[in-house]
Structure 1
Amino acid sequence: MQCPCLPQSISSGFVEEHWVWDVNAKSPAVQLSPCQRAVYFHIDPILQSEGTAGVRGTKGMDSESWGLSYKGTVWHCGQSRQYTEPFYEKATIIGVDLNLYDGTMAFYKNGLHLGVAFTGLNKVGVPLYPIVSSTAAETELELVMRSCRFLSLQEQCLYTVLQHLVDEVHIDTLPLPGFIRRQLKEF
């Protein structure tokens, strides 16, 4: 197994974080890469799967987790609903977009946006950890990169003003300098 630990460059304004799998919270059928960024399930070609292999598999089972299963269902509070088609294909890449400004979580499959899965996440008040789950044999999951872009103070102010407007057509009626009204329209 090759360790996928190469650093990646990030655009200006983004912060990179390195996630790793928890070595103490995995089942025996799971193997981690040396850098703990890749996880391999049921990889023994001789032994058949004898159940679920997992690493912190709480995907949506409590009120503080929201998750996506390879079966295409999203989970929260122990309840699921169909969100997308199942993804059984090898080399499927799942992306997670947690937007705490809008309070949404969306998923991507092979770069294709699947739509918003959850809303209201900006009001949760506890740390959130997006996950993707698979219990299929020979599944390989890799944590590639996590980044977030913090809004500047100016962007936060523009965002706050726009959140309080009933309709963006009212921007021109605001008692603000013209250049700020233009920025609001472009934001």
Structure 2
Amino acid sequence: MPALKGHTWETWEWDTKGKSPDAFLSPCGQAVYFHISPLLESHGTAGVRGSFSYGEHYWEIEFLEPPYGTSVMVGVGMDSESWGLSYKGLLWHNGKSRKYTEPFYDKNTVIGVLLNRTAGTLTFYRNGDNLGLAFSGLDQVCSALYPMVSSTAPETELLLGLRTSRLSSLQEHCMHTITHCLGRFGHTHSLPLPPALRCQIHT
């Protein structure tokens, strides 16, 4: 787990509207269950996303059951791209994978995700241990990045745990406030702002 000095605790949940039909949420909005139909069959990849923030953001995902199957992923993404870690220890982006760490098969494994939009980095942790830099260059991504999890395996159960954030500049504070005020019904394209800023706060 990274040092959390200066961070604020957050309580965001999984997005009820930003999920696949085969992803089911608990009443509290923190647990997600994939492919739990009576037939116990997978119908491809199912995913769900959470809210997002600027600056430095950290959250944890607990595997309530041992992962198995083709792919169970934790990471960040948007409509067209994603950056993630598979339980098989592979990093995935743009349809390509590379070895990052040893596979994790145990129940109650906790994967931490540290996203720093200012530095453009994404780092993963396993049970509190830093696994090293996974991706860089995310500061060049001109879109909101959402926490995401996905699975192809029946009865995958994941729990959202610790969530913190730290806004590191006045610009980030402003964008965070604007995004919060606009909500899901904002029309950022009409704001009198430079195109790059409108892109960054697009909801």
Q: Give the TM interval when normalised to the shorter protein.
A: 0.5 to 0.7
Q: Rate the CA distance shift 1:100–1:29 in 2: closer, same or farther, 3 A.
A: closer
Following the alignment from structure 2 to structure 1, what is the Cα–Cα distance between the partners of residues 46 and 155? 12
Following the alignment from structure 2 to structure 1, what is the Cα–Cα distance between the partners of residues 10 and 113? 14
Q: Rate the CA distance shift 1:105–1:15 in 2: closer, same or farther, 3 A.
A: same
Instruction: Select 2:47's aligned residue among 51, 55, 62.
Output: 55
Does 1:73 find its partner at 2:70? no
Does 1:141 find its partner at 2:158? yes
Point out the more displaced range, 125-134 or 31-40.
125-134
Q: How does 1:76-155 map to 2 (within 5 A)?
A: 76-151=93-168
CA displacement at 1:71 relative to structure 2: 2.4
Point out the more displaced range, 101-110 or 141-150.
141-150
How many pairs are equivalent? 142
Instruction: Select 1:15's aligned residue among 8, 27, 42.
Output: 8
Following the alignment from structure 2 to structure 1, what is the Cα–Cα distance between the partners of residues 169 and 21? 45
Identity of matched residues, %: 56
User: What is the RMSD computed on CA atoms of the aligned residues?
Assistant: 3.1
Q: Which runs of 4+ in 1 moved over 3 A?
A: 24-30, 50-53, 56-64
Following the alignment from structure 1 to structure 2, what is the Cα–Cα distance between the partners of residues 86 and 61? 25
Instruction: From the two aligned structures, give the one with the greater strand fraction.
Output: 2
With the length of structure 1 as denominator, give the TM-score of the two structures: 0.60
CA displacement at 1:70 relative to structure 2: 2.0
Bigger Rg over Cα? 1
3-state DSSP of counterpart to 1:122: helix
Gaps of 5+ in 1: 1-10, 154-187
Following the alignment from structure 1 to structure 2, what is the Cα–Cα distance between the partners of residues 139 and 71? 15
Following the alignment from structure 2 to structure 1, what is the Cα–Cα distance between the partners of residues 147 and 21? 23
3-state DSSP of counterpart to 2:139: helix
